[in-house]
Amino acid sequence: MVKAIHTGFLLLIRSIKKIMTKFSRKTEMSLIESIKKHEGYVGVVYKDSLGIDTIGYGFAIKDLELDADVCDIILERKIKNLQDRVKNKFSWYKYMPPEIQDVVMEMCYQLGVTGVSKFKKTVAYLQNKEFKNASIEMLDSRWAKQTPNRAKELSNRVKEVEVGH
């Protein structure tokens, strides 16, 4: 008997939690929709009516804090968009081993596609699959002086790729 009452009580508690969750989500969604409607969405930084840098649905940049999961989503989208630009700029990119593609992508993420395209000798060596020469050339740059650890690591990754790959 006690067990049946206990089970019934647990089911009642679960039902109440479900109702409260649905109510909370419904209220939250109507609030979200109202804020979206009144703030509007702007995907780039702009000055609001008070001259404050703002983005999205009225997010003041100075008050914005991004959780890691949100940053992960942004990073994944940026990489996807970047990869399309890299493929358009460097026709040889899609024929490279994955390790080389990753290095090119990371350099383009840091320096921009235009910035990497200025690495004329490195790009030519990569295109010709002369990975050892490309790795040496990568280090002969202002980039390597400004971010030496990253440049050395990426250069080593290029150097380690087998030519017959």
Task: Name the residue ranges covered by the structural domains of the chain.
Answer: 2-63, 68-159
In whole angstroms, what is the distance from residue 157 CA to residue 155 CA? Answer: 5
Do the Cβ atoms of 161 and 131 come closer than 8 Å?
yes
Q: What dotted CATH number matches 68-159? A: 1.10.530.40
Half-sphere exposure for 77 (CA within 13 Å, toward CB): 6
**Pick the residue with more confidence: 50 or 8?**
50
Nearest to 152 by CA among 130, 128, 136: 136
Give the least confident one: 8-12, 80-84, 100-104, 110-114: 8-12
Nearest to 111 by CA among 103, 140, 132, 76: 103
Whether the per-residue pLDDT at 18 is higher than 80: the answer is no
In whole angstroms, what is the distance from residue 126 CA to residue 117 CA? Answer: 12
Single pTM value for the model: 0.74
The pLDDT assigned to 16 comes to 56
In whole angstroms, what is the distance from residue 28 CA to residue 101 CA? Answer: 43
Residues 6+ apart with CB under 8 A from 53: 45, 46, 47, 60, 61, 62
